[in-house]
Amino acid sequence: MQNRDSLYIEGAWRAPSSDAVIEVENPATEELLATVPAGTAADVDRAVAAAQAAFPSWSRTSVGERAEVLRRVRDGLAKRQDEIAETISTEMGCPLRIATKIQAALPQTVVGAYADLIESYEFDERVGNTIVAREPAGVVGAITPWNYPLHQITCKLAPALAAGCTVVLKPSEVAPMVAYLLFDVLHEAGLPAGVVNLVPGYGTEVGEALAGHPGIDAVSFTGSVRAGSRVAEVAARSITRVTLELGGKSANVLLPDADVATAVKVGVANAFLNGGQTCTAWTRMLVHDDQYDEAVELAASIASGYTPGDPLDPSTKLGPMVSAAQRERVRGFIRTGVAEGARLVTGGAEQPEGIERGYYVSPTVLADVAPDSTVAQQEIFGPVLSVLRYSDEEQALQIANNSDYGLAGAVWSADQDRALAFARRVRTGSIDVNGGRYNPLAPFGGYKRSGIGREMGTSGLEEFLEVKAIQV
């Protein structure tokens, strides 16, 4: 993997204002992969100025023109799918099988979906004697995380471009390399100069400068609650609109008549997807007294099949944590869980057997977890599943809603109407009934501390539109 020494500003690769660099590490080997520039506030100023200059002409392009550009980007991503998957697998540890199927493929679907969506979307509607016009919001500042480093960019970039906005992107400093591949694709797609701009850097420098920049009209952020709160605080000084996609502590509720074997198998896979480094992970499994022991035994058996290994090996299901700090954070939660009374069923905080280097954590199942305990309340972001017991459906609902978060979740029942009725009472932005399939056209976002606003689909597009009433 080669070093990158430039920023993408005003349609070209340009020298940064500082010689400082960010070192990108391979979490599976602990070796240096590459370096990228550590951008500065001055670089943000340049990028925002370029985006402002490009906005008037880009915002006036036709829907057809923008859709065509998006389709060129989608096709460019498809041509580089294998390279993208390998890059993500190498820089943040996602197993190649998942990196190919989800990390590299889903962004193509997202970009293509917005090309199709805007061709049927009504940007103008008539309400009595008023034309309600939906217009591009302006210059968008996008700040994205490391766990799905391309998907989370396209969830912001695609609707922003579709709406007619221009964009300045700060990718995660932990996994920035795939953003460079994306901008290679964007350059080849022929976007006008200044429409898209890339400034890698640290949150304390580039993130703060971007969120608080008076030339930014909308900020879209994905990451931790702590960082999201800071973004909102800084953006508020300029009264800049903010979309926040933050953490989760999702409940997977097995009602007493559920197919336990299927629900547990799918639930463990969901909780351990991407090494558990997924904001929507169903990390709390709620099981009725009568099925509890069976579910715990099944979960432990299934978890034991997630042997940590080389993420580039196609057979690996569980890669490393993204960094040493993340590994220690996850191990600390496991220790805390046991100290607070949880029963360690499988896994644990020790180094996985047979692994001498890399930031690995054993797949861990904790049983007899108390609803108010640390591991039931805080987002761990690792391969740790907490199993909680309930006695009746009302208690299950109370436990499911006993969280500061409300991002995702699941409910299982032999009676779909019963499951749907339960799902409607869970305070969460999305919830799957009996393993309902992910829909990239549906709105995505959370209640409570899981965020503000929505991504994906029509709702995601409208985060980047302003509404104007024209009386005639």
Catalytic residues: 245, 279
First-to-final CA distance of the chain = 58
Half-sphere exposure of 408 (CA within 13 A, CB side): 24
Strands, E, within 31-83: which ranges?
A: 31-37
d(CA 84, CA 181): 7
Among candidate residues 212, 204, 208, 199, the one with its CA nearest the CA of residue 39? 199
d(CA 239, CA 317): 44
- Name residues whose C-beta falls within 8 Å of residue 290's C-beta, 6 or more positions apart in sequence: 256
Cβ atoms of 163 and 133 within 8 Å: the answer is no
Whole-angstrom CA distances from 211 to 220, 244, 416 are 9, 12, 44
d(CA 182, CA 131): 37
Cβ atoms of 190 and 161 within 8 Å: the answer is no
Cβ atoms of 140 and 463 within 8 Å: the answer is no
d(CA 354, CA 357): 9
Residue 31, phi-psi category: left (phi > 0), alpha (psi -120 to 50), beta (remainder): beta
Helices 292-303 and 260-272 pack at an angle, to 10 degrees, of: 40
Phi, psi of 272 (to 5 degrees): -100, 0
